[in-house]
Structure formats: structure tokens, C-alpha cells
Amino acid sequence: MKKYPFIISLPHCAGDVPPDIRTRMALTDEQIADAVDHGTHEIFAALPADDVIAARYSRLFCDLNRSPENRRGKGVVPETDYKGRRVYLPEMAPDDATVDVWVARFYRPYHERLEKAVSGSGAKALFDCHSLNGVGPAAAPDAGRKRKDVIISNNGRKDGKADPALGEPSCPPDILEIVESAFSRAGFTTAVNDPYTGGFITVHYGKKLVRQGGFALQIEMNQDLYVDPETDRCDPEKTKTAAEMVESALEEIVRRVAVFR
């Protein structure tokens, strides 16, 4: 079987919550499911990448795409979900000692595996894969705006070049241009660094990969492509079509980007 010479990261693909943590939470099962990046596991996890690193648990009690230095508020252990709802029951929010335990139990193993993959021999690229609502929700920077099919982010400006306010991009603009054109030719509408410029995983591991001559990109899939609005579940046929289009784009990227040769 062919292997794609890159790493896939899926930090928000799961919705499970361990029983000892679930009893603390104020959210319903449906509200917890809201936080899952629907379709990311179905579309990306089966790709024959060098390594596919997927979350096992919900981001609501351990968000893997946050800096370990930021543990409260909207950090690793968020206090509210994306719609502003309190995650925990009164008096049941984790204290600092519990947060430390959760970081060791859930956060560190994911990042230890990522660090090993990125530092491994031959590692050249990382795609940190997510999905988002078709229209920006109230708390988003693009509230009320219809979104493109695929959002590609490199911690830069909308043209992919460095934004001094953000620091160095996680992917050179010329490579990002190839990636965007490949997704476009596969049939997707695309946007760059709009509405998101990339999260902790893309930025943090991108620094190391760029030093190694590689790159990291955040890929956001629009859930309107494959999620049934009546059931809020992935439509099998539409998901299959989206996955085939993604694979077509990635095959072109591997052919055209010099670091893969």
C-alpha cells in the first residue's frame, strides 16, 4: 500500500468522556456531541499517512489544540464550550491539582506521540485536521458569514505570507499556494487563514518542521459538505465523496511539493 509522507493530526475528532469526568459535567450528551469535529475521523483517519494521530476523548475537558501554558478559560481544560455554555456543574469544576492530573493523563500522551512523529526520520509535513460549521456561529470571528469548503491556515495573512503580529508562518507561502490550488482542483472552494489562522498544534510543530525543511498546515473542512442537517450526523455517501476529493488533493500535493521528492 502506498504511504503518504506526512503526519495527520485529529485533535477534535472524538466525543467520549470518561465516567469519572462525565458526572462533573453540566452539558447534555447532545451538547457534548456539538463539540466534535464531525467528519474528520471518517475523512482523514483512513488515509495511508506515515502516522495518523487521533484523539480518543472530547475536547471539552482536554483540548489538545491549546498550549499547555494556557490551562483555564478557553485553554486545555475549558470552562465553557464554543456556544458559551458552562461545561461543569456548580462546585464540580476541576481544581488545579485535578487539571494537572488530566494534563498528564490525556494531553501529554497525544503530544508525546506528535513530538516523536515530527522528530522522526524523514518527517516533512503535518496536516492538523478539523471541521467547522457552514456559517460562522455567534462567538466566531466570522459570525453569520457563509464559509468556504476548505480553510487552509499557516499562521499568516490571507495571502499566506507572514503576519508580524502572529510570528513566522508554519508553511512557506509557495507551498501553501500549491496546497490551496490542489484542493481547488479537487472541487472545493477554499480560503486561506480566514476565519482561522491555525491553532497551537500547527504553530508549535510547524516551527520544528520548517527548520527541517518541511511545513505544517491546519485544514478545516466545512461540515455542510457531508453532515445531514436533520440528524447532525455524517451522511455516508457525501462523506465518501468528500474523502475521495480530499485524497485527490493530497495526491496532487505529494506530486507537486518538492519536499516530498
Q: What is the pLDDT of residues 88-144, one digit of tens each?
A: 999 999 999 999 999 999 999 999 999 999 998 678 999 999 999 999 988 889 999
pLDDT above 90 covers what percent of the chain?
A: 89
pTM of the model: 0.96
Helix-, strand-, coil-residue percentages of the chain, each rounded to 5: 35, 20, 45
pLDDT above 70 covers what percent of the chain?
A: 99
Say how far apart CA 128 and CA 118 lie, in whole Å. 12
Q: Rg of the chain over CA atoms, in angstroms?
A: 18
Q: How confident is the model at residue 261 (pLDDT cuts 50, 70, 90)?
A: confident
Give the model's pLDDT for residue 77. Answer: 97
Tell me how far the alpha carbon of residue 202 is from its chain's centroid. Answer: 9
Give the model's pLDDT for residue 82. Answer: 84
- pLDDT of 187 > 60? The answer is yes
Q: 17: closest CA among 32, 6, 1? A: 32
Integer CA distances (angstroms), 179 to 65, 93, 153, 174, 188, in order:
22, 42, 11, 9, 12
Give the model's pLDDT for residue 99. Answer: 96
CB 114 within 8 A of CB 208: no
Fold of 4-260: Aminopeptidase (3.40.630)
Q: How confident is the model at residue 183 (pLDDT cuts 50, 70, 90)?
A: very high
Say how far apart CA 150 and CA 171 lie, in whole Å. 17
Q: How confident is the model at residue 16 (pLDDT cuts 50, 70, 90)?
A: very high
Give the model's pLDDT for residue 3. Answer: 83
Q: What does the domain layout of the chain look like in residue ranges?
A: 4-260
Alpha helices in the chain (DSSP H): 19-22, 29-34, 40-44, 96-102, 108-119, 173-185, 200-211, 236-256
Give the model's pLDDT for residue 2. Answer: 72
Q: What are phi and psi of 53, to 5 degrees?
A: -115, 110
State the DSSP H helix or E strand holding residue 150, giving kind and residue range, or none if neither: strand 150-153
Query: Per residue in 12-39, is it b (16+ CB within 10 Å) or e — as a string?
Result: bbbbebeeebeebbebeeeebebbbbbb
Q: How confident is the model at residue 1 (pLDDT cuts 50, 70, 90)?
A: low
